[in-house]
Amino acid sequence: MKIDAFHYVQLGTAYRGLQPVPDEEVIDLYGGTQHIPLYQMSDFYGKGPSIKQFMDIFSLPEMALLSCVVDHFLGHGLEFDQAHLYKDVTDAIRDVHVKGLMYQWIERDMEKYILRGDETFAVLSRLVDHGKQLFLITNSPFSFVDKGMRHMVGPDWRQLFDVVIVQADKPSFFTDPRKPFRKLDEKGSLQWDRITSLEKGKIYRQGNLFDFLRLTEWRGPRVLYFGDHLYSDLADLMLRHGWRTGAIIPELEREIRIINTEQYMHSLTWQQALTGLLERMQTYQDAESRQVLASWVKERQELRCLTKALFNAQFGSIFRTFHNPTYFSRRLVRFSDLYMASLSCLLNYRVDFTFYPRRTPLQHEAPLWMDQLCTGCMKTPFLSDMAHIR
């Protein structure tokens, strides 16, 4: 199910297996409300006592597998314990990683699975040419990283990075100071020597952020770190160490394409106009006015469902419920200074470009007609035709 920034379930987005759960049942499950209590929500790292928050692209196969297995059990009338099923699916996903199966499958078809290689090389080269110091911290093993980077960047990829760390075990890399760095030789074998400096062109395994900061002296907002998982990559770095952070959200590319369509803009504009009308005209309670208000409520709800379906028929946009930001959006804004669909988006800006934060209106600063706030335009189409209603 999909939850907004204030812990409310977006009705119409709850599924048991592959079947939608009726709105009435969702409300009944949560004691007559759509609200999920804080104690049931996920903790800081997205793993709460009874709810798991899916956060990144690895979540897609896990969600699909969970849904399909649940649907199979329900469809065949088989009894099962949800806790056991969740654990078995989670263990299966983990084993695919731990046993290296996923890496093997990707390595067999680099062209299919690794995207934007040329653009990645262009970004890295440009940063190095402008005197930036680059580092790579990944949970993947060296053999996989080496083959992938050779495919994208070329055989000399290590010369682009001042520090390369593999099998880092994030997020504990950022919080546990007990694990030391170990150097790997050219064949990927572990060395025994004590690490007193991090050298360019060398490969290091595991380690921890505290030693990393001590050895590099790269601290605070001078560092900009990119990752694709808000918790594992970005949260600790922003909150504990004051780094600047950039989130990579691949779905953003498609969502931006949709919000730039005429259908979306027309739907949202008229939806906001109806919202403004309802807010202004609800004081009129005679029979004819109530009938008009009811028709506006119905039309507004139809438009909300239509707008949702433009993004995804089941869940809508990953960034918004009907009107509120999603719980994911709330965490995204909290833990990232920038977010983008791909690292290659940086090619659209100069290296010395400054991104200034947008001033977001507070509720008491927002104009009465909310369409001006949501569409960003001072004059909204259609509203001029309604001037006589005001």
Dihedral class, residue 201 (left if φ above 0, else alpha if ψ from -120 to 50, else beta): left
Residue 69 class from Cβ within 10 Å (0-12 exposed, 13-18 middle, 19+ buried)? middle
Tell me which residue has tokens 């719980």. Answer: 327
CA–CA distance, 137 with 204 (Å, rounded to integer): 10
91 is in an annotated binding site: no
Q: Enumerate domains of the chain plus CATH numbers.
A: 15-107 (no CATH), 111-218 (3.40.50.1000)
Predicted confidence at residue 116, as pLDDT, reads: 74
Is there a contact between 181 and 207 (Cβ–Cβ < 8 Å)?
yes
pLDDT in tens, 7-33: 999 999 999 999 999 999 999 998 899
Predicted confidence at residue 254, as pLDDT, reads: 95
pLDDT in tens, 190-226: 899 999 999 999 999 999 999 999 999 998 999 999 9
pLDDT < 70: residue spans in the chain: 42-49, 366-390
Predicted confidence at residue 85, as pLDDT, reads: 92
Is the backbone peptide bond immediately before 171 cis, with ω within 30 degrees of 0? Answer: yes
Which CA distances in Å does 388 have to 50, 81, 287? 52, 61, 21
Which CA distances in Å does 202 have to 46, 135, 192? 34, 11, 14
Predicted confidence at residue 360, as pLDDT, reads: 78
